[in-house]
Chains A and B, each alone.
Chain A
């Protein structure tokens, strides 16, 4: 059995770990509130953007000359996957869940003998993917230096994607991120952004006839690149809220586990102390008896 001193040391070390995890939980909780607010504030923009694009694309008459960003290249050979993860660890299954989802998709694509290209956003995603898919990763982006999520960063990613699309480097583009549902549930999402998938197309009221200035296709070709940045921005916002939520619950668990461990160790410590006292007493008594 460990000596009393060892036990004492372990108890204090577990206690200080508990302090750290508790502090991290508090920080995550504070950040979560802000991230959640940001995610909610950002929603109207992306929703409106989506609406306008839906209205526009349903109004477009000449489907064949429609911008490629909307309709796709007509092929589906090369897939570009943008995996959005966090830059920091210690957030439970947050990154692993995204990676798991992405890997399923990768395997599906590779099985169909299609070409896979990956862009990772956030350093954790790169760390987890580089072992298996090193030759598929064409770019890794990290925004470690920017404190808050801002549109400028999302726009940068968007521009990279569009650049590569114009160079015909890929046909289909999907992004992977965690959607924030609540603090304990984050749903890994796969969203196709090129060509644009509009599953609600039937619902759009086609009777709303718009006047366009300039022409529809010109507006569309201007709008679609922006929409990509917007979608990425939305994903980044959702991701950051999810990351904090996930970290908060992970740290909460860790704090609780540390508490349990402290209790267990304290009991053990007390028992062995008592045992030592009893032993000494027996020694004294038997010493007195032998006199």
Chain B
């Protein structure tokens, strides 16, 4: 029996990624990282900034997301996000730019705790990325 399921990542402009032969997807869910395998229970959750890892039979891909929603149902994983980048496409300049924006945002004192938490997360992830 195959252990594969389908994943689809869409952003508002287009369908970003669609894959049929995925074994595992790890998403940065709001309450912690979450790995999804085949026959996972139906779930809806939303994402915090972090790295999505998609493991298929042939390769492993990483994507950086800033926010989004995941829905898993009948072995279909949909990820809706407004900003997503493939990690291998991100170069130093791009990371620095996103990082700068995030830091600017976090210096604003009028944001609530949840937002601050999300931005801090984003900065941390980006810093890790730029180290590698």
Contact = CB atoms under 8 A, between A and B. Distances in A.
Interface of A: 38, 41-42, 44-46, 48-49, 51-52, 55-56, 150-151, 154-155, 208-214, 219, 222-223, 226, 230, 233
B46 A223 contact: yes
A51 B14 CA distance: 17
Given A151-B13, A230-B12, A52 B71 contact: yes
B41 interface: yes
A155 B31 CA distance: 25
Interface string B40-56: 01111110000000000
A269 to B, nearest CB: 53
A244 to B, nearest CB: 17
Contacts of A52: 44, 69, 71, 80
A219 to B, nearest CB: 6
Nearest to B71: A52
B80 A45 contact: yes
Contact of B43 (A38, A45, A210): A210
Contacts of B46: 219, 222-223
Given A48-B80, A52-B69, A226-B82, A212 B43 contact: yes
Interface string B1-18: 000000010111111000
Given A48-B78, A52-B69, A52-B71, A38 B13 contact: yes
A210 B46 CA distance: 13
Interface in B15-45: 15, 29-31, 34, 41-45
B127 interface: no
A225 to B, nearest CB: 11
Interface string B50-85: 000000000000000000010101000010101000
A151 B82 contact: yes
Contacts of A45: 10-12, 80
Contacts of B73: 208, 210
